[in-house]
Amino acid sequence: MTTSDERPPSAEKSRKAAGEVNPLDRIVGFQLRRAQLKTFNELIRLFDKLDLKPPQFAVLKVLETHPGINQTRAAKMLAIKRTNFVTLVDGLEQRGLAERRVSAKDRRGRPLFLTEAGTKLMAKAGSIQAKHERDLMHRLGGAEELETFLRLLHRLIAGTNADE
Amino acid sequence: MTTSDERPPSAEKSRKAAGEVNPLDRIVGFQLRRAQLKTFNELIRLFDKLDLKPPQFAVLKVLETHPGINQTRAAKMLAIKRTNFVTLVDGLEQRGLAERRVSAKDRRGRPLFLTEAGTKLMAKAGSIQAKHERDLMHRLGGAEELETFLRLLHRLIAGTNADE
DNA sequence: TATTGTTATACTCTATAACTATA
DNA sequence: TATAGTTATAGAGTATAACAATA
């Protein structure tokens, strides 16, 4: 990604580098896919030293703002299946970043909490992610464009029932 | 569900329906993921009767606009790996929608073409996809918003070397 | 030596069904 | 009966390494 070759801005070369005329460029779904893959890959690299990936960060983020949330609701927020969420939490619990407790009210539930280590890690991860977000904002053109972008994304998502 | 705290049912339901406060709502990457998943799932359902999925449609679309393109360039346009592209084309070739020929110039290459059946299928698939695209445009708010959205997406993608 | 297409393979993601223990 | 969590498992999707044929 940091290949800083000298690149003359000739139309010929920039066209080739950009992947040519590409009929997929004007199809919303495919552009969404590319943008999503790129932002995730960027975040993966930024989280590299924390041994954290975007989905794991997302779980911790939800626990941070919703301590004691149960797994069904958390999985819905993350738009992943309850069943796949289990493995995710297993990993975080084994690393001592999150913990499942037992609810007194409903003994079926396993309310989720960040551990102290999880809270500490989130301090670092959160600032890394926030920095990335600012980078994205700048690439979009500024604060106003970011708002516009989020609003448009939300219009596409609206009416979604997350998962399941 | 009748236990726990006393809470007005209206607030309870709207909170649940809206997916709650969700700290992921303002993180670009995760909103991108949700929007991408949703548009793809919509397209999958629309293509249902054609037994076609978005990646397959994308390949056929590239062959339609770039007849004779080689696999390396096509894979780059699709932002997937050459190696995974092989399986994709295998499937399309077995269904008689695309074909690999042999190049006289460079006998390593296998220039790709739509078959007649492939062209016919693309007539249907293309109009389905175009209709979906118009639907997305309306949800975004109109033609102007679509342009804005694509422009912003492109700003995030810019500088990407696709894949590999 | 580099490139095109390919096979084999592994690893991650995601999806479905069925089970348990509670309610 | 329904719900929260879980297990097992299958299927996509995606990744790397290595090879043959050709340039």
Mean pLDDT of A4-29: 57
Which chain A residues are Cβ-neighbours of B58 within 8 angstroms? 24, 30
Strand-pairing partners, residue A98, are A114
Domain B27-158 classification at class level? mainly alpha
Considering only alpha carbons, which residue of chain B is nearest residue A30? B36
For chain B, the average pLDDT equals 88
Between CA B90 and C1' D1 the distance (Å) reads 49
For chain A, the average pLDDT equals 88
**Per-residue pLDDT at B3 exceeds 50:** no
Mean pLDDT of B138-150: 98
Q: Rounded to whole angstroms, how far apart are CA atoms B42 and B151? A: 22
Q: What does the pLDDT read at residue A20?
A: 67
Return the structure tokens found at A34: 């590319």
- Using 50, 70 and 90 to split pLDDT, how confident is the model at A22? very high
- Interface test mutation site (partner B, options A22, A107, A147, max chain B beta carbons within 10 A): A22
Cβ neighbour number for residue A65 with a 10 Å cutoff: 13
| Predicted model pTM | 0.88
Return the structure tokens found at A52: 């954290």
pLDDT digits (tens, 9 = 90+) for A105-151: 999 999 999 999 999 999 999 999 999 999 999 999 999 999 999 99
- Close Cβ partners of B139 (under 8 Å, ≥ 6 residues apart): A155, A156, A158
Q: How many CB pairs under 8 A join A and B?
A: 161
Mean pLDDT of A28-48: 97
**Per-residue pLDDT at A83 exceeds 50:** yes
Amino acid in position A31:
Q
**Per-residue pLDDT at B8 exceeds 50:** no
Q: For residue A41, which of B73, B161, B151 has the smallest C-alpha distance?
A: B161
Which chain A residues are Cβ-neighbours of B29 within 8 angstroms? 36, 39-40, 43, 54, 136
**Per-residue pLDDT at A40 exceeds 50:** yes
Which chain B residues are Cβ-neighbours of A34 within 8 angstroms? 79, 153, 157, 160
- Close Cβ partners of A152 (under 8 Å, ≥ 6 residues apart): B140, B141, B145, B148, B149, B152
Mean pLDDT of B3-8: 29
- Using 50, 70 and 90 to split pLDDT, how confident is the model at A161? low
With both helix axes pointing from N to C terminus, report the angle between A143-157 and B116-140 in degrees, rounded to the nearest 10: 120
pLDDT digits (tens, 9 = 90+) for B30-44: 999 999 999 999 999
Q: What does the pLDDT read at residue A159?
A: 75
- Using 50, 70 and 90 to split pLDDT, how confident is the model at B159? confident
**Per-residue pLDDT at B10 exceeds 70:** no
Q: For residue A47, which of A112, A131, A150, A111 has the smallest C-alpha distance?
A: A131
What is the full DSSP assignment across A65-92? HSTT--HHHHHHHHTS-HHHHHHHHHHH
Q: What does the pLDDT read at residue B12?
A: 37
- Using 50, 70 and 90 to split pLDDT, how confident is the model at B20? low
- Using 50, 70 and 90 to split pLDDT, how confident is the model at A103? very high
Q: Rounded to whole angstroms, how far apart are CA atoms A12 and A24? A: 20
* Residue B16 contacts strand D, CB under 7 A: no
Return the structure tokens found at B34: 């949700």
Q: Rounded to whole angstroms, how far apart are CA atoms B148 and A103? A: 48
Contact assignment for B38 to A162 by CB distance below 8 Å: no
Q: What does the pLDDT read at residue B160?
A: 61
Q: What does the pLDDT read at residue B112?
A: 98
Tell me if A70 sits within 8 A of A86, measured CB to CB.
Answer: no
Give the nucleotide nearest to A87 (CA→C1'): D6
Q: For residue A113, which of A125, A99, A102, A123 has the smallest C-alpha distance?
A: A99
| Range of weakest confidence among A43-47, B8-12, B23-27, B90-94 | B8-12
- Using 50, 70 and 90 to split pLDDT, how confident is the model at A11? very low
Q: What does the pLDDT read at residue A130?
A: 98
Which member of B29, B73, B76 has the closest CB to residue A40? B29
Cβ neighbour number for residue A159 with a 10 Å cutoff: 9
